[in-house]
Chains A and B, each alone.
Chain A
Amino acid sequence: MKIKDADSIKRLAESSRQLLTPSVPRIAVGMSSCGLAAGAQSVMEAFQVECGRQGVECRIVATGCLGFCGAEPLVEILLPGKAAFVYGPVEENRCADMVAELREGRLPRDNLLGRREVGGAEIEDVPPLSDHPFYKGQIRIVTRNLGLIDPGSFEEYVACGGYQALAKALGAMSSEQVIDEIKSSGLRGRGGAGFPTGLKWEMTRKSPSSPKYIIMNGDEGDPGAYMDRSLMEGDPHALVEAMIIGGYAIGAQTGILYVRAEYPLAQKRLREAIGQAKEAALLGRDILGSGFDFDLYLVSGAGAFVSGEETALIHSVEGRIAEPDPRPPYPSEAGLYGQPTCINNVETLANVPVILDRGAEWYGGFGAEKSKGTKLFCLVGEVARTGLVEVPLGTPLAAIVHGMGGGGRGGAAVKALQTGGPSGGCIPSEAFDLPADYEALQKMGSIMGSGGLIVLSERTCMVDTARYFLKFTREESCGKCTPCREGIDYLSHVLDDIVAGKGAGVNLDAIEQVSRGIAAASLCGLGQTAPNPLMTSLRHFRAEYEAHVTENRCPAGVCSALLHISIDPQACTGCTACVAVCPVSAISGTKKEPHQVDQSLCIKCKACEDICRFNAIRVV
Chain B
Amino acid sequence: MDSEIGIKTGEIAQRWKGTPGMLTGALQEIQETFGYLPEEGIRTLASELDIPLSRIFSVATFYSFFRLTPPGLHHIQVCEGTACHVLGADQLSAKLFRDLKIGDEGVSEDRLFSIDRVRCLGCCSMAPVVRIDDRTYGRVRQKNVAGILKPYLKEGDGEN
Residues of A bordering B, CB below 8 Å: 33-34, 36-38, 69-70, 72, 220-226, 229, 254, 256, 258, 261-264, 266, 297-305, 307, 316-317, 319-322, 336, 378-382, 386-388, 418, 421, 452, 454, 456, 460, 465, 468-469, 472, 581, 583, 605-607, 610-611
Residues from chain A with a CB closer than 8 A to the CB of B27 are 302
CB neighbours (8 Å) of A380 from chain B are 83, 124-125, 127
A38 to B140, CA, bound (A): 10
Cα–Cα distance between A581 and B99 once the two chains are bound (Å): 11
Contact present for A38 and B58 (CB under 8 Å): no
Q: Is B111 an interface residue (CB 8 A)?
A: no
How many Å from the CB of A448 to the closest CB on chain B?
Answer: 16
- B106 an interface residue at 8 Å Cβ cutoff? no
B25 beta carbon closer than 8 Å to chain A: yes
Which residues of B sit under 8 angstroms from A386, Cβ to Cβ?
A: 124-126
Distance from A309 Cβ to chain B, minimum over Cβ atoms (Å): 14
- Closest residue to A38 on the B side, CB-wise? B138
A612 CA to B143 CA, complexed, in Å: 10
Please report the number of residue pairs spanning A and B whose Cβ atoms sit closer than 8 angstroms.
176
Q: Are A262 and B122 in contact (CB under 8 A)?
A: yes
Tell me, rounded to whole Å, the shortest Cβ–Cβ distance linking A227 to chain B. 10
15 contacts between A and B (CB under 8 A): A37-B136, A38-B139, A223-B80, A223-B119, A254-B20, A256-B20, A302-B59, A305-B119, A317-B20, A319-B24, A319-B51, A322-B62, A378-B125, A452-B124, A581-B142
Which residues does chain A contribute within 8 Å of B20, judged by CB atoms? 254, 256, 297, 299, 317, 336
B 119-138 to A, binary, CB cutoff 8 A, 1 in contact else 0: 11111111101000011111
CB-defined contacts of B64 to chain A, threshold 8 Å = 302-304
Closest to B65 in A: A303
Among B28, B84, B122, B139, residue most surrounded by chain A Cβ atoms (within 10 Å): B122
Q: Given contact pairs A321-B58, A386-B126, enumerate 18 new A-B contacts (beta carbons under 8 Å).
A: A33-B122, A69-B123, A221-B119, A223-B120, A297-B21, A300-B21, A301-B63, A302-B28, A302-B63, A305-B119, A319-B55, A321-B59, A378-B125, A418-B82, A454-B86, A465-B85, A606-B88, A611-B142
Residues of chain B at interface, number, CB under 8 A:
52
* B95 contacts partner chain A, Cβ-Cβ < 8 Å: yes
B10-62 at interface with A (beta carbon < 8 Å): 19-25, 27-28, 51, 55, 58-59, 62
Q: Given the interface contacts A38-B138, A606-B88, does A224 sit within 8 Å of B24 by beta carbon?
A: no
Residues of B contacting A258 with CB < 8 Å?
A: 21
Docked CA distance A370–B64 (Å): 39
Q: B102 in the interface, Cβ–Cβ < 8 Å?
A: no
A225 touches B65 (CB 8 A): no
For B86, what are the chain A residues with a Cβ–Cβ distance below 8 Å?
A: 381-382, 454, 456, 460, 465
Shortest 4 CB-CB contacts between residues of A and residues of B: A299-B21, A319-B23, A223-B81, A69-B125
Q: Kindly list chain A residues whose C-beta atoms are within 8 Å of the C-beta of B87.
A: 381-382
Would you give the shortest CB distance from B130 to chain A, in whole angstroms? 9
Note all chain B residues with C-beta closer than 8 A to A263.
122
B125 interface neighbour in A220, A387, A583, Cβ under 8 Å: A387
Interface residues of A: mostly helix, strand, loop or mixed? mixed
Complex-state Cα separation, A469 to B83, whole angstroms: 12
A220 and B122 alpha carbons, distance in the complex (Å): 9
Contacts of A607 in B (CB 8 A): 91, 95, 142-143
A336 to B129, CA, bound (A): 35
- Contacts A261-B65, A320-B55, A607-B95: A34 and B123 contacting too (C-beta < 8 A)? yes
Which of chain B's residues has its CB closest to A386's CB? B125
In the assembled complex, the Cα of A462 lies from the Cα of B3 at a distance in Å of 54
- Report Cα–Cα, A299/B22, bound state, in Å: 8
Chain B residue contacts of A322, Cβ below 8 A:
62-63
Bound complex: CA A378 to CA B125 (Å): 8
A33-B25 in contact given A581-B142, A606-B88, A610-B141 (Cβ < 8 Å): no
The answer to whether A381 and B83 have CB atoms under 8 Å apart is: yes
CA distance A452 to B84 in the complex (A): 13
Docked-complex contact B98 and A317, CB < 8 angstroms: no
Considering only CB atoms, which chain B residue lies closest to A317 in the complex?
A: B21
Complexed CA–CA distance, A221 and B94 (Å)? 24
In the bound complex, residues from chain B placing their C-beta under 8 Å from that of A220 are 122
**Please, which residues of chain A bring their CB within 8 A of the CB of B88?**
606
**CB contact between A33 and one of B23, B51, B63, B136 (< 8 Å): that residue:** B136
B59 touches A320 (CB 8 A): yes
Q: How far is the CA of A605 from the CA of B94 in the complex (A)?
A: 8
B5 at the A interface (CB under 8 A): no
- Asked whether, in the complex, the Cβ of B126 is within 8 Å of the Cβ of A72, the reply is yes
* Distance (whole angstroms) from the CB of A375 to the closest CB of chain B: 17
Quick check: B124 and A316 within 8 Å, CB to CB? no
Q: A223-B120, A381-B86, A611-B142 are in contact. Are A302 and B125 (CB under 8 A)?
A: no
Q: Are B120 and A224 in contact (CB under 8 A)?
A: yes
B126 touches A34 (CB 8 A): yes
Residues of A within 8 A of B141 (CB): 610
Tell me the nearest residue of chain A to B86, going by C-beta. A381
- Docked pose: A495 CA to B81 CA in angstroms: 18
**Pair B82/A224 contact, Cβ less than 8 Å:** yes
> For the complex, is B66 an interface residue (Cβ under 8 Å from A)?
yes
